Structure 1
Amino acid sequence: MTTTQTFNSWLTYTKPNPHASVRLFCFPYAGGSSIIFRTWAESLPKTVEVCSIELPGRGTQMKSAPFSRLKPLVGAIAQALTRNQFAPALLPHLNKPFAFFGHSMGAVVSFELARLLRKQYGLEPVQMFVSGRRAPQIPDPDPPIHALSEPEFIEELRRLNGTPEALLENAELMQLLVPIIRADFEVLETYVYTTEPPLDCPITAFGGLQDQEANCDELQAWREQTNAAFSLQMFKGDHFFLHSAQSLLLQSLSQELQQITSKIDRLQLNSD
C-alpha cells in the first residue's frame, strides 16, 4: 500500500520519516518561522520525525495575513493538523504518538492547541516541551508593546535581542516584518487564560538563566498544568537561548525523546 502526503502550507517536514515512532511538532516564537527548526532532525533520534508549524505571513504562508488573536490561530492550526479531504475520519498528521515543542509564543500556542485537541478529539501529546515562556496562568507583568510607534516597537525588539541588528537597521525589510511581528505580539498580549483541568501528558520546561521574560519561578509554575511528571531545565543565555545554547538544548531534547520512543516501541512490541 502506498501513501501520498498532500501539500499543507501550515506544516513543514524538512526530513520526512514515515517510520518514526514519534512526531515532534515545533512552534516558533513571535516573528519566527519554520526555518528555526530546519536542522533539528539531524540532531534528534532517528525515531523522531520533526514537523514545524508555519504561521501565516511567512515561509509557505507568506501571502496569508497573520492572526492577531490566539483562539482563531489555534483553531486554524488544529484544522491543518486534522483535515483530510479524502478521508475525513482520519487524522493524517496525528496518526502516531506526537509531542509538542514551543518557544515563547510557541509555548502558549502549543499549550492551547493541546487543550483544544483534548476537547475536540480526545487526543493529547505524549509530551509537552515548553520553552522561554512563563506558565499561562501567570498574567503578563509588562505593558503591551504591539501598538507602540514603529521606532519604539523596533527598540523593544532590539532589547529582546532576538532580531539581528543588521535586520533592525534595514528599513525596507523591517517594513515587511514589523506588521507580522506586531500581530504575533498582539496574539500574546490579548490572550486571556481560562482555567481547565491539567493535561495528562508530562511537561518539560526549558529556560534561559539570563532571560528577563521568563524566570525560574515563572517556568516552574508550568507544573500546575499537568497531572503527570514535570521537569525544568535551565540553560545559559537570554530569551533566545534556544539559539545560543542550541546544542545543549537539542541534546536534552534527544535524551527525553529517546526515552519516550523506547517506551512506545516496547509497548508496541508487547501488544503485537
Structure 2
Amino acid sequence: MTRYVECATNGAGLAPVPLRLFCFHHAGGGASMYRTWQRALGPHTSVWPVLLPGRERRRGEARFQELGPLIADMDAQLDEHATEPYAFFGHSMGALLAYRLACRRHARGATLPVALIVSGCTAPHLPPPLPSVDTLDDSALIRLLTGLGGLPAPILEFPALVSGMLPVIRDDLRVFADDRKNVQPPLPCPIHIFGGDADALVDELDLTAWQDCTTSGSEVRILPGDHFFLDRPDELFDHLRPLLRGYGKV
C-alpha cells in the first residue's frame, strides 16, 4: 500500500465494490476527516482517504510547498490503485489536488476517474481566494482561519496545539496558491461541484467557473453551510449516494 492511502474496504470484508472514491482533504486537514464516509456511502463505494505528508500517521515526513512535485509524487504512488472505475472527491485544497492529479493522468494517457467531485473550491484557473501566507504573521493567519471556520473557538484555548498546526497550514496554502497560471486542457470526465451557501471564501461564480474545466458536463449544487460545511455532511451524502451508485454501474 502507498504512503498516501491505507487499505480500504466496503465495510464488509475485502469483497470488491463497484467504485473506489479517493478523497483529498483541505489545507491543514487529514485523512481522518473522512473517517465516517465509508459507513455513510457503502457498500457500493469503497472510500480511500488520501493523506498528505506532515500530519497524522505521516507527521514525521517532509511536507510539500509546491504543487507540481506533490502531484507527481501522488500520481506515482496512487497509480496502481487508480483502476477503473474510480472517482476523485476533494474539498477546498483537496479539490485542486484531485483536479490536477486527473489532469496529469489525462496528459500521460492513464486511466481517468469516471467523475471528479469538487467542493468548496474556486476553479483552478482563477486567482487563489486567500492572500499569500507569506504576508501574514501568525496572529493574522489565525484571525483569517477563525473567520472562515477553520479554527473552531475551543481549539484556540490550546495555544501549543494551534502553534503546531500553523506550519502545516502555511505549507498547504502555499501548495494551494502555486502554479495557478498553468491552465490545463478541459478534462473528458464530468465534474460535480458543491459549495456552501454561507461560504465567505468561495461564491457561486467561483464554483460555476469549474464548468470550463470539462468537456463532459458539470453541475453546481449549493448546500447549507460555510466553507467547512463538510463538518455536517448528511445533505452532501444524500447527493453522493445515488451519484456514486450510478458511476459504479459504468
TM-score, normalised via structure 2 length: 0.93
One-letter identity of the residue aligned with 2:240: L
User: Which residue in 2 is equivalent to 1:3?
Assistant: none
**2:234 counterpart (247, 252, 255):** 247
Contact 2:85 2:114 in 1 (8 A): yes
**Greater gyration radius:** 1
Q: Name the stretch that deviates more: 73-82 or 11-20.
A: 11-20
Contact 1:45 1:258 in 2 (8 A): no
CA–CA separation in structure 1 for the residues paired with 2:97 and 2:194: 16
Q: Does 1:127 align with 2:115?
A: yes
CA–CA separation in structure 2 for the residues paired with 1:95 and 1:42: 22
Q: Does 1:175 align with 2:163?
A: yes
Q: Does 1:12 align with 2:6?
A: yes
Task: Quote the sequence identity (%).
Answer: 34
Cα offset for 1:101?
0.3
Q: Does 1:44 align with 2:37?
A: no
CA–CA separation in structure 2 for the residues paired with 1:209 and 1:13: 35
Cα offset for 1:18?
4.3
Please list, as runs of the form range in 1=range in 2, the aligned pairs for 1:111-150 lying within 5 A after superposition.
Answer: 111-140=99-128, 142-150=130-138
One-letter identity of the residue aligned with 1:10: Y
Q: Does 1:25 align with 2:19?
A: no
Q: Give secondary structure in 2 for the equivalent of 1:52.
A: strand
CA–CA separation in structure 2 for the residues paired with 1:134 and 1:110: 13
**1:67 counterpart (55, 64, 67):** 64
CA RMSD of aligned residues (A): 1.6
Please list, as runs of the form range in 1=range in 2, the aligned pairs for 1:66-105 lying within 5 A after superposition.
Answer: 66-82=63-79, 91=80, 93-105=81-93
Cα offset for 1:146?
4.3
CA–CA separation in structure 2 for the residues paired with 1:235 and 1:216: 11
Q: Give secondary structure in 2 for the equivalent of 1:68.
A: coil
Q: How many residues align?
A: 247
Q: Name the stretch that deviates more: 141-150 or 114-123.
A: 141-150
Unpaired runs of at least 5, structure 2:
none
Q: Name the stretch that deviates more: 181-190 or 128-137.
A: 181-190
Contact 1:27 1:103 in 2 (8 A): yes
Per-residue CA deviation, residues 68-100 of structure 1 (Å, 9 max, x unaligned), is 111111111111112xxxxxxxx2x02331100
TM-score, normalised via structure 1 length: 0.86
**2:195 counterpart (202, 207, 212):** 207
Unpaired runs of at least 5, structure 1:
1-6, 83-90, 265-272
User: Which residue in 1 is equivalent to 2:215?
Assistant: 227
Contact 1:78 1:113 in 2 (8 A): yes
Q: Does 1:187 align with 2:175?
A: yes
Cα offset for 1:200?
0.5
